A and B are shown apart, each in its own frame.
Chain A
Amino acid sequence: MLFSRRLMLGLAIAGTMAGALAFPALAEGPTEIDLFFPVPVDGKLARDMGTLIKEFNETHPAIKATAVYTGSYDDTLIKTRASIKAGKPPAAVIMSANFLLDMQIENELTNLDSLIAADGTSKDQFLGQFFPALQGNAVINRSVYGVPFHNSTPLLYINADQAKEAGLDPNKPPQTWAELTDWAKKLTKREGDKVTRWGIAIPCAYDYCGWMMETLTMTNGGRYYNEEFGGEVYYDTPSMQGALTWWNDLVTKHKVHPPGATPGPAVSTSFISGNAAMMMLSTGSLTYVRDNAKFAYKVAFIPRNVRNAVPIGGASLIIPAGLEADKQKAAWTLIKWMTSPEKSAWWSRATGYFAPNMAAYKTPDMVEFLSKNPDAKTAVEQLNVAKPWFATYKTVPVRKTLEDEVMLVLNGKKQPKEALVAAQKAADETLKPYNAETSLKLP
């Protein structure tokens, strides 16, 4: 009795509060908007985001932005979709760059063209601020749906001390797959059958594995997916077969790469502890390696077999569909501010991602930072050969069909060719409904 009376009282109070929240328009005040942001690396990012948003609110009295932490990239997608479904989408979201196409297909994104036009800038002018490699994931059907915010590429990390010890010159890092294989063989240490130090480690966990397969396939001359159309992936191709066969050879034939699927954190820990002499990992891990490595290290481009090419990674700012006009406008102001050269450069130094806005590298602070940390320059230079990150209809399940098969190969359960045939078949099945509505919908 007492309990329920208390409950009633609580309900009454909650009701009044909800009522007060529901009519904020009655009071003349700043436009309140939410920004969903993920923390894909470590916890310091949340504090940096707080600093950034505080500065924005101080300089823009008409808008009150609130940064809402939403977990990993995948969690952020879930939470954004949930709030769109609930009819209360956030005004802006920092979204993993390869989720944009899938969201656009599901009608969950605001087309930014009209906002760009309202500013009096042309689309080309607007996109021209960013590295060309980043545009592929932001532009869908020639309309802008996202603004690049922080980005990465895969890098080859080398333990320079161990390389010297093995008679290799870390200032001339391996440039081809052949050289890399040779380095890895020389850097692997064995006691009988047991390997005490691996020559190279490449991560393979869901998400990372697909990105690394795209990297290896691209350096082998291939493509992962159709960049112009979200209904096709190219798994069962010679270029991907070559890539997977080489990865598998490093494991089974040369025995210089740990067997099985190794997640990203395990790879970086291995490298930091000296247990793996080289690794392929995102530029996003550069700050972590810089802070933790007790040895001299080098970063280099991902070696090629056919050509130098890497996919981009990272996230773009988006505006979800179904937002009121005033909030949309406020979100656009926030997005433009966050991706301006100064803020872009500041965020890059704070996090380790590279700044997508090219002008950021001309700011004095950034010039000074790069002269102190030349390794951060490699990531930016590699952008010249970078291409978009795979994005299809249902990106995650389509990617997972490949990853499951790659893991089987790395565990010695399947041969590369049969694995890729199976992956292609499963991916085609997942893409079928989209093709039925687009490429196979005939007059």
Chain B
Amino acid sequence: MSLAEPAALPVTTSAPPRLHILKRFTTGFKTSLPAYLLLLPSLIFLALFTYGAMGRVLVDALYQRATPKAPVRFVGLDNINAVLADPAFTGAVVNNLIYAVGTAIPSITLALLFALALSRTNAVTSVLRAALFLPVLIPMVAASALFLFIFLPNVGLLDYYIGRLLPVLPNWLGDSDIALYAIMIITIWKNAGYYMLFFLAGLQAVPEDVMEAAHLDGAGPFQRLRYIILPELKPTFLFVTVIATLNAVTQVDHVFVLTQGGPSNATNLVLFYIYQQAVEHYDIGKASAATLLTLAALMGLTALSFRTMANREGGA
């Protein structure tokens, strides 16, 4: 839009203010018309498939029907209240928080360790990088189907190898105390390699001369990590943390394939809860309300990520 802004707008200061505004508006619109026309194709699709859907969710969240045959009526915030009062939703939020923290921290730590170990490029590290990146290339659904067999009680790959060491073989996905952690292991395995890429890129940005100076001053590997590398990686850390948190909310393929939120809702995450409300309960109002709540949380996160980016630009 700023492209289309006329160079000198205020022509005369003595003109009547209303006319001035109107004129300014029309000339402004006229000059930016080509820009809007160029944007139109994308805008149409954005409106149809993104904002249209969001608007629909907003409307649906405000309507509910009292009995199966009754028509939907406006209920205001009742749906949102019903969602917040639903123990399955609060349970899903708690599960999601455990899941977010329990997947973000280990996968980021692993990613950093991998990146530090493989920061120099040679034949060996290239092969290892490719190996660690491989899980990223496997679609989550396919990975989950693989893990279904790994986690099979008694006969699965996992029990086959570590079963001998344990006194009792755990039912990895069928035990409500263990299932969520089994799900988390898949996420960590899948995402660590992806986050490693960001850290590898971040490590390239660590100034060579500072490192050399530290080396000459006799700083050991730990000191260089603590005082030079980690501070330099701060923007990468913030960025990856936001991505990891977003992933924790938006990726539920493995829940869908492996546990369907069970046993007894032990692995139910927020997005899966929304799916259940919409599909199993056929309750569009409640599903939309839960979607709105999640959307609000995600928008907060996105704002955070924008600020992170801004800090990164400004802080350099």
Contacts and interface: CB of A to CB of B under 8 A. Distances in A.
A221 interface: no
A265 B174 contact: no
Interface in B157-207: 167-169, 171, 173-177
A400 interface: yes
B41 A7 contact: yes
A39 to B, nearest CB: 15
A56 interface: no
B263 A74 contact: no
A405 B152 contact: no
A194 B169 CA distance: 8
Question: For chain A, which range describes its interface: under 10, 10 to 19, 20 to 34, or 35 or more residues?
Answer: 35 or more
Interface string B53-72: 00000000000001111100
Contacts of A102: 282
A407 B264 contact: yes
Interface in A233-290: 258-263, 265-266, 269-270, 273, 275
B113 interface: no
A258 B281 CA distance: 31
A269 B152 contact: yes
B68 A105 contact: yes
Contacts, number: 109
A205 B282 CA distance: 21
Contacts of B247: none
Contacts of A430: 281
B155 A275 contact: yes
A254 to B, nearest CB: 16
A434 B262 contact: no
B313 interface: no
Interface string B263-285: 11100000000000001111000
Contacts of A260: 153, 171, 174-176, 263
A11 B265 CA distance: 45
Given A4-B41, A74-B279, A407-B176, A434 B68 contact: yes
Chain B binding surface SS class: loop
Interface residues of B, number: 31
Interface string B100-136: 0000000000000000000000000000000000000
A262 B153 contact: yes
Interface in A381-415: 393-394, 396-397, 400, 403-405, 407-408, 410-411, 413
- Give the interface centre of B70, B260, B262 by most chain A CB atoms within 10 Å: B262
Given A8-B41, A397-B281, A404-B262, A263 B174 contact: yes
B66 A433 contact: yes
Contacts of A107: 69
A106 interface: yes
Nearest to A408: B264
A107 B65 CA distance: 15
Contact of A258 (B66, B67, B153): B153
B316 interface: no
A206 B68 contact: no
Given A259-B175, A263-B174, A411-B175, A404 B155 contact: no
9 contacts: A206-B262, A258-B154, A260-B171, A261-B171, A261-B174, A270-B154, A407-B176, A411-B174, A434-B67
Interface of B: 38, 41, 66-70, 148, 152-155, 167-169, 171, 173-177, 260-265, 279-282
Given A262-B171, A270-B153, 19 more contacts: A1-B38, A11-B41, A194-B167, A194-B169, A260-B153, A260-B175, A265-B148, A275-B154, A400-B280, A405-B264, A408-B263, A408-B264, A410-B174, A411-B175, A413-B176, A413-B264, A430-B281, A433-B68, A436-B66
